[in-house]
Amino acid sequence: MCGIVGYLGNKQACDLLIDALKRLEYRGYDSAGIAMWNNGAIETARRKGKVDDLRKAVSSGGFEGTMGLAHTRWATHGIPSERNAHPHTAGDITVVHNGIIENYIEIKERLRKDGHEFLSDTDTEVIPHLVTRYVEEGRSFVDAARAALKELKGSYAVGIIRKKERTLVAAKKESPLIVGVGDDEYFIASDAPAILDRTNRFIFLEDNDVVIFTEGSLVITDMEGNPVKRVVSTVAWTGAMAEKGGYKHFMLKEIFEQPRAIADTLIGRVMEEEGQVEFEDLSPPDLTKVRKIWMVACGTSYHACMIGKHMIEANLRIPVEADIASEFRYRNPILNKEDMLVLVSQSGETADTIAAMKEGKKRGVYTLGVCNVVGSTLARECDGVVFTHAGPEIGVASTKAFTTQISVLYMLMLYMGGKLHKMDRDRIKENIREMRKMPHKVQAILNISKSIEEIAGNFHKTKDFLYLGRGINYPAVQEGALKLKEISYIHAEAYAAGEMKHGPIALIDENLPVVVVSPNDSTYQKTCANIEEVLARRGKVLLFTDHESHEMASRVESVFTLPSTTYELQPLLSVIPLQLLAYYIANLLGTDVDQPRNLAKSVTVE
Ligand code: M6R
Mapping DSSP to helix (H, G, I), strand (E, B) and coil, where does residue 550 land?
coil
Nearest Cα residue to atom 8 of ligand 1: 299
Instruction: Please tell me what DSSP assigns to residue 540.
Output: E
pLDDT confidence of residue 241: 78
Closest Cα to residue 182, out of 195, 170, 169, 191? Answer: 195
pLDDT confidence of residue 431: 97
Ligand 1 center to 427 CA (angstroms): 33
Task: Give 128-153 pLDDT, tens digit per residue.
Answer: 999 999 999 999 999 999 999 999 99
CB-based contacts of 331, cutoff 8 Å, min separation 6? none
Q: What angle do CA 505, 508, 514 make, to 5 degrees?
A: 95
Cα separation, 498 vs 378, in Å, equals 37
The per-residue DSSP string of 441-461 comes to HHHHHHHTHHHHHHHHHHHTT
Closest Cα to residue 4, out of 240, 176, 260? Answer: 176
DSSP run (H or E) holding 588 = helix 570-589
Catalytic annotation on 371?
A: no
What topology is assigned to 250-446 in CATH? Rossmann fold (3.40.50)
| Amino acid present at 139 | R
- Across-strand partners of 199? none
Nearest Cα residue to atom 9 of ligand 1: 299
Q: Where are the domains of the chain?
A: 3-242, 250-446, 449-589
Atom of ligand 1 nearest to the CA of 397: 16
Nearest Cα residue to atom 7 of ligand 1: 299
Which residues does ligand 1 sit against, CB inside 6 Å? Answer: 298-301, 345-347, 350, 353, 396-398, 486, 599, 602-603
What CATH number labels 449-589?
Answer: 3.40.50.10490
Cα separation, 26 vs 49, in Å, equals 14
CA atoms 42, 46, 51, 53: torsion sign: negative
CB-based contacts of 266, cutoff 8 Å, min separation 6? 407, 411, 435, 436
Ligand 1 center to 298 CA (angstroms): 6
Prior bond to 87 cis, omega within 30?
A: yes
What CATH number labels 3-242?
Answer: 3.60.20.10
Ligand 1 center to 444 CA (angstroms): 26
Q: Is 449-589 in the same CATH topology as 3-242?
A: no
pLDDT confidence of residue 284: 85
The per-residue DSSP string of 261-301 comes to HHHHHHTTTEETTTTEE--TT---S-GGG---EEEEE-HHH
Low-confidence ranges of the chain (pLDDT < 70): 549-550
Cα separation, 23 vs 484, in Å, equals 24
Closest Cα to residue 7, out of 210, 124, 229, 159? Answer: 159
Ligand 1 center to 447 CA (angstroms): 27
Catalytic annotation on 358?
A: no
